[in-house]
Amino acid sequence: MPPRVTYLDNAATSWPKPPPVAAAMKRFLDEVGANPGRSGHRLSIEAARVVYRAREAVAGLLGVADPMRVIFCANATHALNLALRGLLRPGQHVVTTSMEHNSVMRPLRALEAEGIALTVIECSPEGVLDPTAVKQAVRRETTLIVMTQASNVVGTLMPVREIAEIARAHDLLLLVDGAQSVGALPIDMNELGADLLVFTGHKALCGPTGTGGLIIGERVDIALLDPLMRGGTGSNSASELQPDFLPDKFESGTMNVVGLAGLEAGVHWLAEQGPEALRSRERTLAACLIEGLGEILGVEVRGTRDASRQLPVVSFTLTGLDPAEIGLRLDEEFGVAARVGLHCSPIAHLTLGTFPTGAVRLSLGALSTRDDVDMAVRAVGRLAEETRRRGGAG
């Protein structure tokens, strides 16, 4: 019989989901099922209520006064592309960091080829960003700073508030990739100072895949933000021109309403637990994981190794054993689900010194337990011991 799964891949997507998530999705499919905003009948109106409640839930969690500023997208990548492609024009200059995911770097590199100038600020080998370097990189053509709030590889928390002050002082916009952090940290968008905040629904917000979005702050002139797609919105139907108001300007096509029903349930569940309490619990578990892995001979934990300065996303390498083989053996022999390789973030691995082999990432979620951590540490310990016996580990 295969071993029980110890799921430590929450940075890829959280699992298991809180039970109300699936229940809400089933309820929508069984009892509503209609297309929001496209018809005037009761089921279509109820579907629109489901979407609006999800908007309200996300806005409420993040201290956003107007739910209409929450734009739903298919995922964080979609939202980042919307923001970057929508805002940037040839001749403008953007500043970013060397800890970004490819969902930021790939659109930026493509835009660079189209005439956008790009400066990538080198972070330390622990993944830490020096705000002074960002300040020094700003020039006359700079219009945007884009950065992650927390690394998807080693969880490092970035100094977003300090960068927001720099952005304000230079009249720049700040786009924050919150794919890992939204739901994992208590966040008030205004206190954070982000002008645009990207989130995904299926990670720390505990919702299903296929949900995510972009929150547009009040400093952003929506007339200057182009939509990524244009099409049917259910509004202004007599016109062949895209609506110019929120949220319809950026939400063409039928929405993932069943997903948003699940997202609303996930966000409510999270709010009931309390983001501060969850963060505290996850930080404690992350500290145990970092400490446990750090005590294993041959293991090198990457990043800050300080649970108070990172999310519960812990990456490590083991001398003498390739990350891909570690991942396979963790799964097959111990039932531990990890993610290995470059985590769609080659530039972060270059920064951390783990490119091109990558690392093994163990990431905790809201429903992770101390048993999960202990199981992972035991499993890695066994692999390290066997590797040493074979003469691999130092």
Partner 1 sequence: MSRSAPSYRLYLVPSASHAIKGESVLIRAGIPCALIPVPRTISSQCGVCLRVELDLGDRAGEALAGADVQISGTHDP
Picking from 88, 133, 113, the residue whose alpha carbon sits closest to that of residue 351 is: 133
Considering the complex, state which of residue 56 and residue 165 has its C-beta at the smaller distance from partner 1. Answer: 56
Helix intervals (H) in the chain: 19-31, 42-61, 76-87, 102-113, 131-137, 160-169, 189-192, 257-273, 275-294, 323-334, 346-352, 370-389
List beta partners, residue 93.
Answer: 117, 142
- Residue 40 CA to residue 230 CA, distance in Å, equals 23
Please answer whether residues 163 and 131 qualify as being in contact, where contact means their C-beta atoms are separated by less than 8 angstroms. yes
Question: 93-97 and 196-200: which strand pairing?
Answer: unpaired
**Three-point CA angle 332, 336, 338, nearest 5°:** 105
Considering the complex, state which of residue 69 and residue 101 has its C-beta at the smaller distance from partner 1. Answer: 69
Q: For residue 142, give the 3-state DSSP assignment.
A: strand
In sequence order, what DSSP letters do the residues of 245-300 get, joined into one string?
STTGGG--S---HHHHHHHHHHHHHHHHH-HHHHHHHHHHHHHHHHHHHHTSTTEE
- Residues with a known catalytic role: 344
Minimum Å distance from CB 45 to partner 1? Answer: 5
Minimum Å distance from CB 36 to partner 1? Answer: 6
Considering the complex, state which of residue 60 and residue 320 has its C-beta at the smaller distance from partner 1. Answer: 60
Minimum Å distance from CB 156 to partner 1? Answer: 36
Considering the complex, state which of residue 265 and residue 362 has its C-beta at the smaller distance from partner 1. Answer: 265
Minimum Å distance from CB 223 to partner 1? Answer: 15
Minimum Å distance from CB 74 to partner 1? Answer: 18
Considering the complex, state which of residue 40 and residue 394 has its C-beta at the smaller distance from partner 1. Answer: 40
With a CB cutoff of 8 Å and minimum separation 6, the contacts of 106 are none
Residues that bind partner 1 (CB under 8 A): 36-41, 44-45, 48-49, 51-52, 55-56, 66-68, 233-238, 243, 245, 247-248
Is residue 247 left, alpha or beta, with left meaning phi > 0 and alpha meaning psi from -120 to 50?
Answer: alpha
- Residue 69 CA to residue 65 CA, distance in Å, equals 9
With a CB cutoff of 8 Å and minimum separation 6, the contacts of 277 are none
User: How many Cα atoms are found within 13 Å in the side-chain-facing hemisphere of 359?
Assistant: 27
Minimum Å distance from CB 26 to partner 1? Answer: 22
Considering the complex, state which of residue 66 and residue 221 has its C-beta at the smaller distance from partner 1. Answer: 66
